[in-house]
Structures are given as C-alpha cells and as structure tokens.
Chain A
Amino acid sequence: MINIVKFIDRLTGWFGRAFAWLILLMAFGMGYEVLVRYVFNAPTSWAFDMSYILYGTMFMVGGAYTLARNAHVRGDFLYRLWKPRTQARVELVLYFLFFFPGVLALVISGTKYAERSWRYMEVSVFSPAGVPVFQFKTMLVVAGVLLFIQGIAQVLRCILCIRTGEWPPTVEDVEELEDQLLKKAAAGELDKAQQIAHGRDDT
C-alpha cells in the first residue's frame, strides 16, 4: 500500500515540478515584452495571452503536488492538537464527503468544456495573434485527474495511519526557508542556521 502512495507522490510530484519551471518562461517572456515595447517600440501581440496561460497552467497542474506536500491551507488550530490516528479517521471521512465530489465534478464538467474547445481549435479573443487556448482549457481535466489520483494516495495514507498510529512520511523536496531554519534550530544546530542566515553555508 505504501508503494502505491509513493508511486502516486512521484507521479504528481513529477508533474508539479516540471510545470513549476514555467515561472522562468513567464518571467523571461514578460521581460522580453517590456524590452521590445520600450527599446524597439514594437510590442508583441502574444505576451498578454502567454502570461495567463502560463500562470493558469502552472497552478492548476500544481494542485495535486501541493496536496501531496500538505501545503494547501487548512484551519489546523484544533487538528494539530489531535493524535495522528484521530486526524486520519476524521480526514478519511472528509475526503469522501468534501474532496472526491468536487474533484469528480471538475473532471466531468472540465471534459465537456475542453471538448467543445477542441472541436473548433479555439484561439484567444484578446489579440489578433490567434494564441490557441484549447490546450489551456484541457488543463481543467488534467488538474482534476491528477487531484483525483492524489486523493487516492491521501486516502491510503489515512488508512496506513489508522493502522500504525502514525503518519507515513511525506516526501519533502523543498521547504520554506523559515521551516529549514526552524528545523535546524530545533535539532540543536543553531550555528548551522546562523551560517545560512549569514549566507556562508555554501562558500
């Protein structure tokens, strides 16, 4: 069972990390637009469409990745006080009531929506450049399917936790800087945290 969880985490993690790099494309693309507009006085016709397509694609695909890393906001002021087993029991029920119905609706209605768009190879109406948006609308389905798969992994996690009494470890690839520092401090390595803060950790 733990292997299925690991496999799903890797799958959504791969999608999330791969699509995260779109941020660089976005930064350089918009930078290029500003450059050609002011320096060469020749604005592009595609920059605006590009900006929201990249942004939308990014966060939609990243939804499942973020769920796997437990980074979606939750009001956890009571939750964190419970024993792991209680957390898992409550969460298991809530996944079926408040996760799968919404995600399923996203997959089904997203499919209809994307299908319609593919039928006439829809392009953006914001510019004459004719930037295609049918692939962008497909992201609704991709995001829904990834979330659904990740939901299965989360349910299995809950079951594992109910059995063993503790949460199976999540794969941590990156952490917020404050969390890295807090962890170092908690592990009694205050000097290492201080080195990072001084920017002397990798010289």
Chain B
Amino acid sequence: MTDPQIALMMLGIFILIIFLGFPIAFTLMALGVAFGYYAYFNPSRMWRSYDRAVEAGADNWELWHTWASGLFNNRIFDLFVNQTYSVMANEVLTAVPLFLFMGYIVERANIVDRLFSTIYIAARRLPGAMAVAALVTCALFATATGIVGAVVTLMGLLALPAMLKARYDTGFASGVICAGGTLGILIPPSIMLIVYAAASGVSIVQLYAAALLPGFLLAGLYLVYIIGRSLLQPSVAPKPRDDEVGDVPVARLILMVLTSFLPLAVLIMAVLGSILFGLATPTEAASAGALGGLALAAIYGALTWQRLREAVYLTMKTTAMVCWLFVGSWVFSSVFSYLGGEHLITEFVTGLDMSPLTFLIMAQLIIFLLGWPLEWSEIIIIFVPIFLPLLPLFGVDPLFFGILVALNLQTSFLTPPMAMSAYYLKGIAPPHVQLVEIFRGCMPYLAMVLLAMVVLYNVPGIVFWLPEMIYGS
C-alpha cells in the first residue's frame, strides 16, 4: 500500500470508530499516534543508541534500557507533544472558557422571564406578538449565552405554555422557539465562530464582523415570516382580546425595558463592540463579559453559591470537551497530511472538474448531511478542515465559507432524525405536543436558512461590507 492509501485507511477506521460511539477526541489521538509511528518510522534513528551501546559492551540492563528508549525514538512523539502544546497555548481558544462561563452565568441569572414579558408587552400591538417576543427573546438570550439547549428548554417552559394558552398553533409556536434558540451559534459573539477561527486560521475579529449582518439577515427573515404568517393566516396566532392584553402604562413599560432588556443588550454590545473596534482582544472582551454577567446575576439576586459552582464546573467540562477534540484533531490531521491524504483529496476534487458553485453546493450539502448525526463541534473541528485546503482552488474566501457553514449548521439543530432543538422542546413541552408538530413547525425555518445562503452567495457584500469598512480590504 502506498502512503496516501494508508491515509485513506486511517480516515476509514476513524469513521468506523465514530459509528461505534467511542469518545472522538481519544480515537483521533490514538489513530494519529499509531499511524504517525508508521509514517515517521526510521530504523536507523531507532537503533542508533542501541548499536552504540552494543559496541561499547554495555550490560544487559543498560541494553534493555537503550532498546526501550529506542522504541520511543520516533518523531511522532515530538509532533504529538508539539500539537498538544499548540492547543494549550492557542491565543484564540483562550476566549472559549470565558465565553462559556459568561453563558452559564447569564443562563442562571433569572433573566429570561423578565425579558420575555417585557418584549411581549412592548410588541403587543404587532400581529403574532407573542411569537415575535419569543423570537426576539431567544435571539438576544442565545446571543448572550450561546448554549442552544438551555435557551430552547427555558423558552419552552416560559413562552410555549403562554403561546398555547393564547391558542397559537402548536407547530407555529414550537418552530419559533427551536429556530430562535439556535441563532446563538451564528450571531456574534458566538463560540462556534471562535472554534472555526482556531480551526481555519481566519481572524476571529474579521469573522465576528462578517457574521453580524448575516445574523441579522436570518433573524430578520424569521421575523418577517412570523409577522407575515400571522397576518395572512390569523388562526395560527389569534389576536388577543383586549382584556387579555391588559393595559400597561408607558412609564412602567420603560422601567421594565430599563431593568430587563437594556442591561443584557448593553452587555452584549459592549463585548462585541470592544472586539470589533479593536479596544480589546476577544479574550479580554470575554472576561469583561463574564464579569458583567456575574454583576448582572448579582443584581437580579441570582448569584447563589450553588449556581456559581454549577457554572464553574460546567465551564470546565465543556472547555475540556472542545479543546481535547482540538488536540486529537490536530495530531490526526498533521499525520494524515504527512501521509499524503490531504494531497489525495485535493487531486481527487480537482479531477472532478467542478465549477466553484458546484463545489460550494457539494461542500455545504456534505456539511448539512453531517449535521444529522453529529454536533457542530465535531463538524467544525474535524470535518471542516478537510474542505479548507480546497477553498483556494475554487477561489472561495475562507471567511465567506465560515459564514455559510455557520448558517448551514443552524439546520443541524432542526432537521430530523437528530434535531437537538426539537428534542429539547419535546422533553419539556406539555404531553399533547407531538414531535411531528414540532418538526412541521421547524420546516419553514430550514427554507429560510437556505434562502439566506442563496442571498449571501448572490450578494457577498452582506458578509464583506462590515469587515472591509472597519479594517479596510
């Protein structure tokens, strides 16, 4: 077998082990070390000190010792340690635990309830007001926390019963929450974009600037759909009777906005603004965000010892999960490309003679399909890097590609069979809410994600305008 064929075998074994459900990070590490040992195997280097010891007439123990250390005299071990260390000292990934911590604190700050009722009252004259409020709350809260599951379950417990009580259509009400909660992985400061930046080498600051308008575009499309559907088909979102709305004086409404909507919005904008305008590195901004989150939780009287502990330990777990995946992936991929696997893929794809558009569609389709069984972390850290070396061949900007991927991965939370958002919602919804209805409610949002991707492809300015305006081209 030639080396590139062995590289393909390595990839094949890896995919098989994923199917068997073994922790992916360690699978990658072990495969990288084993195949790397073969790739860097160098007998003369291995036996050098042993031969010297034999010539010097060393005793048996000494001989055994040099023989054993000869076994480990393989460049893969240096490579392994260096790759691991480069994850440990990665200046982009340092922002990950801080943003996670901020998210875990904000999600425990007793803030969603206030946020939802305030936005509902502010929006109560709009068609489908409760759905609009749910979407805006989801988007804002998901942006601040970045944890999809938490947003969907919390909103499923707060907004879903309220909407059902107001005789909203079950599918319509569920779809809003599922799709709104998922926005958190796209709208900056999202953790997924940091992970993409670390995996691709694209500047995180540029990525954040590039993702802002597409994020608003998608949220805007959702909003237009909700209001439009409520207007055209009032039965899905019946207009509340006047006595149901109640009358809230303007002064009180302003006070509610000041105490619930504003602090969170200011926190997000301060974090994002200081990153975009170069006042602070993403890591510094994230730590400021974490401190701000702590202050917010304290003000809302939610900063208990128990909650702080939870946030700290969960941050540890999730950080370790993401970063060990990086360790495994970097060891694996450097051995894979050393064996010529990457070159083989490049040659194969070049041989297909695709147009850039066909390539983009193919790549996004594969990522869409991977989103069914896998989560975004695995897709971004392990599979997206396979596409990255191909981008220059087709003249696709990795920044642009990253935004398309971020849009695309919205669908992985919403499409059956492994739609995390839908399952979370089903888990906490009243028993009469059927999973099928939730899926039906999610479908229009899939269409809108697709529409947003088509729009971005045709008007790439939506992605590039802001980064170019702030940082020049």
Residues of B within 8 A of A170 (CB): none
Residues of B within 8 A of A28 (CB): 287, 291
Chain B, interface SS category: helix
Q: List residues 406-449 of chain B with CB under 8 A from any CB of chain A.
A: 417-418, 424, 427-428, 430
Interface flag for B346 (CB, 8 Å) = no
Nearest-CB residue, chain B, relative to A177: B150
Q: Counting CB contacts under 8 A, is A39 at the interface?
A: no
CA separation between A33 and B317, bound complex, in Å? 26
Assess whether A2 is interfacial by the CB under 8 Å rule: no
The answer to whether A52 and B24 touch across the interface, beta carbons within 8 angstroms, is no
CB–CB B157/A181 < 8 A: yes
B277: interface (CB < 8 Å): no
- 9-residue interface stretch from A3-11, A160-168, A190-198: A190-198
> CB distance A16 to B150 under 8 Å?
no
Interface residue total, chain B, C-beta cutoff 8 A: 93
The 0/1 profile, CB within 8 Å of A marked 1, for residues 69-108 of chain B is 0001000111011001101111101101110010000011
Q: Mark A53-73, 1 if CB is under 8 A from B, else 0.
A: 001101110110111010111
- Residue B288 at the A interface, CB < 8 A? yes
Q: Is B455 an interface residue (CB 8 A)?
A: no
Q: Which residues of B contact A73 (CB under 8 A)?
A: 23-25, 321, 325, 375, 377-378
**Are B113 and A199 in contact (CB-based, < 8 A)?**
yes
The residues in B between 2 and 46 inclusive whose CB is less than 8 angstroms from any CB of A are: 17-27, 29-34
CB-CB under 8 A from A87, the residues of chain B are 21
A66 touches B428 (CB 8 A): no
Q: Chain B contacts of A120 at CB under 8 A?
A: none
**Please, which residues of chain A bring their CB within 8 A of the CB of B283?**
30, 51
Chain B residues, Cβ within 8 Å of A29? 287
Interfacial chain A residues near B373, Cβ < 8 Å: 75, 77
Q: A182 to B18, Cβ gap below 8 A?
A: no
Q: Is B194 an interface residue (CB 8 A)?
A: no
**Chain A 176-203 per-residue mask, 1 if CB under 8 angstroms from chain B, else 0:** 1111011001100010011011110011
Of listed A98, A179, A181, residue having the most chain B CB within 10 A: A98
Q: In the complex the two chains form, what is the Cα distance from A63 to B23 in whole Å?
A: 12
Check A109 against B77 for contact (C-beta < 8 Å): yes
Contact residue among B30, B284, B312 (Cβ-Cβ distance under 8 Å from A99): B30
Q: Is the CB of A182 within 8 A of B316?
A: no
Determine the chain B residues whose CB is within 8 A of the CB of A91 once the complex forms. 21-22
* A118 contact set on B, CB distance < 8 A: none
Q: Which of A20, A62, A72 contacts B25 (CB 8 A)?
A: A72
Contacts of A173 in B (CB 8 A): 313
What residues of chain B lie closer than 8 Å to A30, measured between beta carbons?
A: 98, 283-284, 286-288
**In the complex, are the beta carbons of A34 and B23 less than 8 A apart?**
no
Closest to A32 in B: B287
B314 contacts A176, CB within 8 Å? yes
Residues from chain B with a CB closer than 8 A to the CB of A190 are 428, 430
User: Interface residue tally of chain A, by bracket?
Assistant: 35 or more
Query: Does any Cβ of A come within 8 Å of B209's Cβ?
Result: no
- The yes or no answer to A130 lying at the interface (CB within 8 A) is no
- What are the interface flags for A96-112 relative to B under an 8 Å C-beta threshold, 1 for contact and 0 otherwise? 01110111011011101
The answer, yes or no, to whether B208 is at the interface (CB within 8 Å) is no
CB distance from B420 to the nearest CB of A (A): 9
Residues of B contacting A20 in the complex (Cβ-Cβ under 8 angstroms): 312-313, 315-316
B307-327 toward A: CB 8 Å interface, digit per residue (1/0)?
Answer: 001101111111111111100
Q: A62-B316, A197-B154 are in contact. Are A48 and B22 (CB under 8 A)?
A: no
* Contact in complex: B81, A185 (CB < 8 Å): no
The interface residues of chain A lying within 8 Å CB-to-CB of B315 are: 20, 23
| A113 located at the interface, meaning its Cβ lies under 8 Å from any Cβ of chain B in the complex | yes
- Chain A residues with Cβ under 8 A from B321's Cβ? 66, 71-73
Chain A residues whose CB sits within 8 angstroms of the CB of B417 once the complex forms: 77
List CB contacts (< 8 Å) of A25-46 with chain B.
Answer: 26-31, 33-34, 38
In the complex the two chains form, what is the Cα distance from A203 to B302 in whole Å?
9
Q: B158 on the interface (CB 8 Å rule)?
A: yes
Residue with the highest number of chain B CB atoms closer than 10 Å, among A20, A48, A113, A139 = A20
Q: Which residue of A lies closest to B93 (CB)?
A: A55
| Distance, CA A69 to CA B315, complexed state (A) | 13
Closest B residue by C-beta to A137: B85
A97 to B321 alpha-carbon distance, docked (Å): 21
Q: In the complex the two chains form, what is the Cα distance from A66 to B315 in whole Å? A: 11
- Cβ distance A137 to chain B, nearest Cβ, rounded Å: 7
B179 within 8 A of A: no
B153 within 8 A of A: yes
Q: Among the listed A27, A78, A136, A175, which residue makes an inter-chain contact with B88, where contact means beta carbons less than 8 Å apart?
A: A136
Query: Closest CB-CB distance, A139 to chain B, in whole Å?
Result: 7
CB distance from A72 to the nearest CB of B (A): 4
The 23 sampled A-B contact pairs (Cβ below 8 Å) are: A27-B98, A30-B286, A66-B321, A71-B320, A71-B321, A77-B373, A77-B417, A79-B20, A80-B21, A97-B30, A98-B17, A102-B29, A102-B30, A105-B76, A109-B81, A140-B88, A182-B424, A193-B157, A196-B157, A197-B113, A197-B157, A197-B158, A202-B304
**Other than the known A34-B288, A197-B154, what 7 A-B pairs have Cβ atoms closer than 8 Å?**
A52-B94, A59-B316, A67-B23, A72-B26, A113-B85, A174-B309, A177-B150
Interface residues of A (CB under 8 A from B): 16-17, 19-21, 23-24, 26-31, 33-34, 38, 48, 51-52, 55-56, 58-60, 62-63, 65-67, 69, 71-80, 87, 90-91, 94, 97-99, 101-103, 105-106, 108-110, 112-113, 136-137, 139-140, 173-179, 181-182, 185-186, 190, 193-194, 196-199, 202-203
